[in-house]
Structure 1
Amino acid sequence: MRSLKTVPSGDVRLGMFIHGFEGSWWEHPFWRSRFLLTDLQDLHKLRQFRGGVIIDVAKSAHGSDPLPDETGSPERERITDVGAPSSARTAPTQRAPAPHGPAELQARQAQAAKLVAGALDTVRGTFDDVRLGRAVSQEKITALVSDISAELDSNAPALLRVLQLKSKHQYTYLHSVAVCTLMVNLARHLGLDAERVRELGLAGLLHDVGKVAIPDAVLDKPGRLSPEELALVRTHPDEGAALLREDPAIPELAIEVCLHHHERWDGTGYPHQLGGEEISLPARMGAICDVYDALTSHRAYKRAWAPARALAEMWRWEGHFDQALLFQFMQSIQLYPPGMVVRLASDRLAVVLDNGKRASRTRLLLFYDQSSARTLEPSVLVLDGGDAEDAVIGFVPQDALPAPAPAPDLPLPSVTADPVS
Structure 2
Amino acid sequence: MARMPARNGLLTVLRQIPPNRGVTMLRRIDRDQARLGMFVHDFDGPWLRHPFWRPRFLLSSPRDLARVLDSALETLVIDESRGAALHPDAVAGEPPARSARPVTAAPASFASGIAREHSCSFEEERPRAAKLLKQSTREMKRLFGEVRAGKAIRCDDFAPLVEQICASVTRNSHALISLSRLRSRDDYTYVHSVAVSALMMRFARSLDMAPDAVFDLGLAGLLHDVGEMIVPERILTKPGSLSDEEFAVIRSHPEQGYRLLSGAAELPEVVVDVCRHHHERSDGSGYPLRLAGEEISVAARIAAICDVYDALTSDRAYKAAWSPAEAITRMHGWAGHFDPELLFRFMRTLGLFPEGLLVELRSNRLGVVLPNGRRASRPLVRAFFSTRERAAMPLEDVVIDDSLAQDQIIAIRDPLAWGFPDWAVRAEQLMTATLRQPARAA
TM-score (norm 2): 0.67
DSSP 3-state at the match of 1:375: strand
- Give, in whole Å, the separation in 2 of the partners of 1:201 and 1:357: 29
**Correspondences of 1:47-86 after superposition (within 5 Å):** none
Could you say which residue in structure 2 is the equivalent of 1:325?
A: 342
2:276 maps to a residue whose letter is L
1:166 paired with 2:180, answer no
1:225 to 242, 252, 260: 242
% identity of equivalent residues = 44
1:310 to 307, 317, 327: 327
Distance apart, 1:406 and its partner CA: 4.3
1:203 paired with 2:220, answer yes
1:120 paired with 2:137, answer yes
- Give, in whole Å, the separation in 1 of the partners of 2:248 and 2:428: 37
CA contact (8 A) 1:369 1:376 kept: yes
Going from structure 1 to structure 2, the CA distance change for 1:397 and 1:131 (only over 3 Å counts) comes to farther
- Give, in whole Å, the separation in 1 of the partners of 2:268 and 2:222: 12
DSSP 3-state at the match of 2:375: coil
1:344 maps to a residue whose letter is L
CA contact (8 A) 1:126 1:137 kept: no
Distance apart, 1:401 and its partner CA: 2.8
Distance apart, 1:192 and its partner CA: 2.0
Going from structure 1 to structure 2, the CA distance change for 1:289 and 1:410 (only over 3 Å counts) comes to farther
Could you say which residue in structure 2 is the equivalent of 1:181?
A: 198
1:126 maps to a residue whose letter is L
Going from structure 1 to structure 2, the CA distance change for 1:325 and 1:40 (only over 3 Å counts) comes to closer
CA contact (8 A) 1:345 1:388 kept: no
1:393 paired with 2:418, answer no
- Give, in whole Å, the separation in 2 of the partners of 1:257 and 1:187: 14
**Correspondences of 1:324-403 after superposition (within 5 Å):** 324-386=341-403, 388=405, 390-403=407-420
1:200 maps to a residue whose letter is L
Which whole-Å deviations, capped at 9, do the CAs of 1:256-315 have from their partners, x for residues lacking one? 101000011000110000000000001000000000000111111111111111101000
Could you say which residue in structure 1 is the equivalent of 2:253?
A: 236
Deviates more, 1:152-161 or 1:310-319: 152-161
- Give, in whole Å, the separation in 1 of the partners of 2:321 and 2:183: 10
Could you say which residue in structure 1 is the equivalent of 2:315?
A: 298
Deviates more, 1:215-224 or 1:275-284: 215-224
Distance apart, 1:388 and its partner CA: 4.0
Which whole-Å deviations, capped at 9, do the CAs of 1:91-116 have from their partners, x for residues lacking one? xxxxxxxxx9xxxx4x8543222211
1:117 maps to a residue whose letter is K
Deviates more, 1:183-192 or 1:393-402: 393-402
2:258 maps to a residue whose letter is A
CA contact (8 A) 1:180 1:201 kept: yes
1:129 to 142, 146, 156: 146
DSSP 3-state at the match of 1:298: coil
Distance apart, 1:235 and its partner CA: 0.4
Going from structure 1 to structure 2, the CA distance change for 1:131 and 1:308 (only over 3 Å counts) comes to same
DSSP 3-state at the match of 1:170: helix
CA contact (8 A) 1:263 1:279 kept: yes
Ranked by relative contact order (alpha carbons within 8 Å, sequence separation 6 or more), the top structure is 1
- Give, in whole Å, the separation in 2 of the partners of 1:381 and 1:404: 24
Which whole-Å deviations, capped at 9, do the CAs of 1:367-403 have from their partners, x for residues lacking one? 2110111012333222234464611111102432334
Distance apart, 1:333 and its partner CA: 1.6
Alignment gaps of 5+ in structure 1: 1-38, 50-99, 412-421
- Give, in whole Å, the separation in 2 of the partners of 1:358 and 1:139: 40
- Give, in whole Å, the separation in 2 of the partners of 1:165 and 1:403: 41
Distance apart, 1:334 and its partner CA: 1.9
Deviates more, 1:288-297 or 1:111-120: 111-120
1:140 paired with 2:170, answer no
2:304 to 287, 311, 327: 287
Poorly superposed stretches of 4+, deviation over 6 Å:
none
Could you say which residue in structure 2 is the equivalent of 1:81?
A: none
CA contact (8 A) 1:131 1:243 kept: no
- Give, in whole Å, the separation in 2 of the partners of 1:183 and 1:376: 39
CA contact (8 A) 1:266 1:319 kept: yes
Going from structure 1 to structure 2, the CA distance change for 1:140 and 1:155 (only over 3 Å counts) comes to farther
CA contact (8 A) 1:375 1:405 kept: no
CA contact (8 A) 2:350 2:377 kept: no
TM-score (norm 1): 0.70
CA contact (8 A) 2:384 2:395 kept: yes
- Give, in whole Å, the separation in 2 of the partners of 1:108 and 1:348: 37
1:183 maps to a residue whose letter is M
CA contact (8 A) 2:314 2:321 kept: yes
- Give, in whole Å, the separation in 2 of the partners of 1:291 and 1:176: 12
Distance apart, 1:156 and its partner CA: 4.3
CA contact (8 A) 1:346 1:389 kept: no
Deviates more, 1:156-165 or 1:309-318: 156-165
Going from structure 1 to structure 2, the CA distance change for 1:398 and 1:270 (only over 3 Å counts) comes to farther
- Give, in whole Å, the separation in 1 of the partners of 2:282 and 2:421: 32
2:416 maps to a residue whose letter is D
DSSP 3-state at the match of 1:381: strand
Paired residue total: 317
2:291 maps to a residue whose letter is L
CA contact (8 A) 2:154 2:266 kept: no
Which whole-Å deviations, capped at 9, do the CAs of 1:290-346 have from their partners, x for residues lacking one? 000001111111111111111010000010000111001111122212122111111
1:249 paired with 2:284, answer no
Distance apart, 1:160 and its partner CA: 2.5
1:258 maps to a residue whose letter is C
CA contact (8 A) 2:362 2:407 kept: yes
1:262 to 271, 279, 299: 279
